[in-house]
Chain A
Amino acid sequence: MGFYLSILTFTFITIIGVTGIFLITGLTGLFSLGQASFMAIGAYTAGILMIKFQVPFVVATILAILVGLLFGLVVGLPTLRLRRDYIALVTFGFGEAVIAILNNLTSITGGAMGLSGIPMKTNFTLALISAIVCIIFARNYKYSKYGRQCMALKSDELAAKAMGIDVKRVKLTTFLVASGLTAYAGVLYGSFTTYVDPSTFGWTRSAEWIIILFFGGLNSLTGAIFSSLALGSLPELLRFASSWRLVIYAVIVLLILNFRPTGIFGEYELNLKTLKKDLLRTNRK
């Protein structure tokens, strides 16, 4: 039972990370290939605070999120006013820079050996509640003023600008929100595994999140959650194929891109209204 609970806990943490990616990529059409480094920032900040300074978990979490936001600001401010490609290239570089810092400040981060002895504070319930709160938050964000502005600038930035949307500001807000969310996911991750090392947070993980999002459908939060559940828990259950996992994901996503570019769920969102519609349709048949 403990094994399945721990898989589910990891899956919920993945869901929080993918929610962040959904806001950046799904809503706004930007790509962050260094998103995993925000997770690293969250995990390491909270871990170091708790180990070296005996800071309580809640305070450490808040501080970790703030540090994540700060780094989001440093990366986002110069890049988000430029062409979209810059954010992808710069976040890729950011990911490498963060890993270099973690590997080299051995006295603080433990270097390549990793940081161990983080107090175990995350449990199944906390991860579940956090994931649900984050999902509700992302859903509300999507239907808020900001979410709609994001969608507008995703499909046509020039037109969005002409409609009076402050494009830079909306992009920055979304990027910051996602950085905070991901840093929080990092805190949960670190205090669940009690051990983190830099290699966990390479660009592969960021790319994997983007792939998970695409699998479910770029425009659908429901899709993002379902595919994180599916792709997040399957590999743990099929351990024997673990080295092939990313290869299989990549092939699936290439197929999806070529033959069903909207992903599995397309624009579909699960809520009371669509649920009623679906039920009625099946009844009629």
Chain B
Amino acid sequence: MIVQQLLYGLSLGSVYALIAVGFALVFNILKFSNFSHGGVLTVTAYTGYLIATKLQTNLWVTLFLTACVGGVLALIIEFFAFRRLRKKQSPLIFYFVSSITMGLLLDNLITVYFSTNFYSYPNFFTNRVIQLGPYNIATTDTIMLIISIVALSALMLLIYKTKFGVAIRALSIDAQTLSLMGVNVNQIIIITFFISGFLGGISGVFLGINYTLYPMIGKLVVKGFIASVLGGLGNISGAVIGALLLGIMEVTLTSIGFIGSGLAPVVIFVIMLVFLIVRPQGIAGIIIHEKA
């Protein structure tokens, strides 16, 4: 029982990790909290549903197509909400409002087109549980965990082992110096947005499978925020650890009788506040300084 709970927590946490990383990537390079990421989650959750029901695709095709849609959507957001602001070197506060507005816009477009009805994804697997020795494990949980691990590892490799990764990390320190080094900063930002949206697309589908679809599903992005705060803002590996912890905490809290799934968010919020008092720099322990 404990092993099953732990695995469920890990799989939930890995989905949160995808959200948190998509959020942290943009935070890392542009230094603002990208609230439009919630909008990406909403739109991709619905896109995945449409693809899966209309085209009758299996999980893998659905995931890939939706992730690409998410990536393109992030590019569109970047173009309409942030491109001009970047050119004019506007203060951070404008990026912030722009991202909030974009998030609100996407959520409400979905509400307009799908109204507030509930939808649910079709079943992708005929076997709902996998027999693993003495344990019964839900198939979707296992698949989610594996896909998330693969996606996150690929991202880590990209960031820590490739030239492009070096450019992203350099950009998070100083954009101007990087452009003097002959790197096309604009290109790096665009690709980062695409990756962020791509990961957002995967997490959108998973959220849609895990919960029923309704226009406010994008507010689950808050799990990503909490994970980033726990892990240390803008720190990618910290965000992953924070998200896994969050997933396990949530599953444990839900199984405690008097808290249940309803009050679990409250307890987690309180834990986050306590954590901020005790260790504001997060698990990763690096504080990003305000640029003066």
Residue of B nearest to A258 (CB): B84
* Residue of A89, A103, A207 with most chain B CB atoms under a 10 A cut-off: A89
B269 near A83 with CB under 8 A, answer no
Q: Which of A86, A158, A211, A251 contacts B276 (CB 8 A)?
A: A86
CB of B33 within 8 Å of the partner chain: yes
A96 near B273 with CB under 8 A, answer no
A96 near B222 with CB under 8 A, answer yes
A 248-263 to B, binary, CB cutoff 8 A, 1 in contact else 0: 0111011001100100
Cα of A154 to Cα of B268 in the assembled complex, Å? 31
B100 near A82 with CB under 8 A, answer no
CB of A151 within 8 Å of the partner chain: no
CB of A157 within 8 Å of the partner chain: yes
Residue of A nearest to B266 (CB): A97
Residue of B nearest to A74 (CB): B273
Residues of B within 8 A of A83 (CB): 233, 287-288, 290
Cα of A84 to Cα of B273 in the assembled complex, Å? 15
CB of A279 within 8 Å of the partner chain: no
Q: Which of B45-92 contact A (CB under 8 A)?
A: 80-81, 84-85, 88, 90, 92
Closest chain-A Cβ to B92's Cβ sits at a distance in Å of: 8
Q: Which of A156, A210, A214, A251 contacts B105 (CB 8 A)?
A: A251
A89 near B100 with CB under 8 A, answer no
Cα of A249 to Cα of B102 in the assembled complex, Å? 11
Q: Given contacts A31-B96, A85-B32, A86-B233, are A202 and B216 in contact (CB under 8 A)?
A: yes
CB of A7 within 8 Å of the partner chain: no
Q: Which of B226, B263, B280, B288 contacts A100 (CB 8 A)?
A: B263
B 231-275 to A, binary, CB cutoff 8 A, 1 in contact else 0: 001000000000000000000000000001011111011101100
B263 near A254 with CB under 8 A, answer no
B100 near A207 with CB under 8 A, answer yes
Q: Given contacts A89-B225, A100-B266, A258-B84, are A33 and B288 in contact (CB under 8 A)?
A: no
Closest chain-B Cβ to A211's Cβ sits at a distance in Å of: 6
CB of B172 within 8 Å of the partner chain: no
B112 near A157 with CB under 8 A, answer no
Cα of A88 to Cα of B222 in the assembled complex, Å? 11
Cα of A89 to Cα of B228 in the assembled complex, Å? 9
Cα of A93 to Cα of B111 in the assembled complex, Å? 22
CB of B139 within 8 Å of the partner chain: no
B81 near A92 with CB under 8 A, answer no
Closest chain-B Cβ to A160's Cβ sits at a distance in Å of: 11
CB of B284 within 8 Å of the partner chain: no
Residues of B within 8 A of A244 (CB): 112
CB of B210 within 8 Å of the partner chain: no
Residue of A nearest to B264 (CB): A100
Number of interface residues of B (CB under 8 A): 53
Q: Which of A82, A84, A89, A261 contacts B90 (CB 8 A)?
A: A261
Q: Which of A40-54 contact B (CB under 8 A)?
A: none
CB of A104 within 8 Å of the partner chain: yes
Closest chain-B Cβ to A244's Cβ sits at a distance in Å of: 6
A207 near B219 with CB under 8 A, answer no
Closest chain-B Cβ to A104's Cβ sits at a distance in Å of: 4
Cα of A258 to Cα of B171 in the assembled complex, Å? 24
B222 near A92 with CB under 8 A, answer yes
* Residue of A25, A96, A214 with most chain B CB atoms under a 10 A cut-off: A96
CB of A269 within 8 Å of the partner chain: no
Residue of B nearest to A208 (CB): B104
Residues of A within 8 A of B226 (CB): 89, 93
Closest chain-A Cβ to B86's Cβ sits at a distance in Å of: 11
Residues of A within 8 A of B168 (CB): none
B233 near A88 with CB under 8 A, answer no
Q: Which of B177-234 contact A (CB under 8 A)?
A: 216, 219, 222, 225-226, 228-229, 233
Residues of B within 8 A of A103 (CB): 262
B276 near A82 with CB under 8 A, answer yes
B276 near A78 with CB under 8 A, answer yes
Residue of B nearest to A111 (CB): B262
Please name 10 further chain A to chain B contacts, defined as beta carbons within 8 Å, in addition to the given A207-B101, A210-B97, sorted by A numbering. Answer: A78-B277, A88-B96, A89-B229, A92-B225, A100-B264, A100-B265, A159-B292, A207-B100, A244-B112, A257-B85
Can you list 28 A-B pairs with a CB-CB distance of less than 8 A?
A: A33-B35, A75-B273, A78-B273, A82-B276, A83-B288, A84-B92, A86-B276, A89-B33, A89-B226, A89-B233, A90-B229, A90-B273, A93-B272, A96-B269, A97-B265, A97-B266, A101-B266, A104-B262, A158-B290, A204-B108, A214-B101, A218-B93, A243-B112, A247-B108, A249-B104, A250-B104, A257-B98, A261-B94
The 6 closest A-B pairs by CB, nearest first: A250-B105, A104-B262, A97-B269, A78-B276, A246-B108, A89-B225
